Amino acid sequence: MSVVQEGGVGLLAALSPEVRYNIGLVVVLVSLVVAGVAVYRAWREVNEDVEPATTEELLASFKQARYAGDLDEEEYARVRRQVEQSAPLPPASRPPQCDDQGSTPP
């Protein structure tokens, strides 16, 4: 007899069919749980909402440059005005969208 038979196959052969069935069932169930968690994480990552950057987030690097002395007050004020003018409105204060016929949605 070889060592493999005595260690692995011999042990498996010594188990009753019911025990082998239960071990297989546990392996399958654990595999399903692991796969389910992986699929859920991937789905959540794909479907997470990407929020647009806020005005403060956009201005953060310019503030750092101003504090470091790389940007003077006049340039910072000009950049800040531009960012605030081009910043999108929050969803609640956006005007209703018009369709191709010029009517507003209900």
Q: What is the pLDDT of residue 97?
A: 56
What predicted TM-score, i.e. pTM, was given to this entire model?
0.40
Q: Which amino acid is at 3?
A: V
What's the gap between Cα 95 and its chain centre?
30
User: How does pLDDT run across 25-42, given as a tens digit for each residue?
Assistant: 999 999 999 999 999 999
Q: What is the pLDDT of residue 86?
A: 81
Q: Which amino acid is at 44?
A: R
Query: How does residue 3 score in pLDDT terms, banded at 50, 70 and 90?
Result: very low
User: How does pLDDT run across 40-88, given as a tens digit for each residue?
Assistant: 999 988 887 777 778 888 889 889 989 998 888 999 999 989 988 886 6
Q: Where are the domains of the chain?
A: 3-47, 55-88
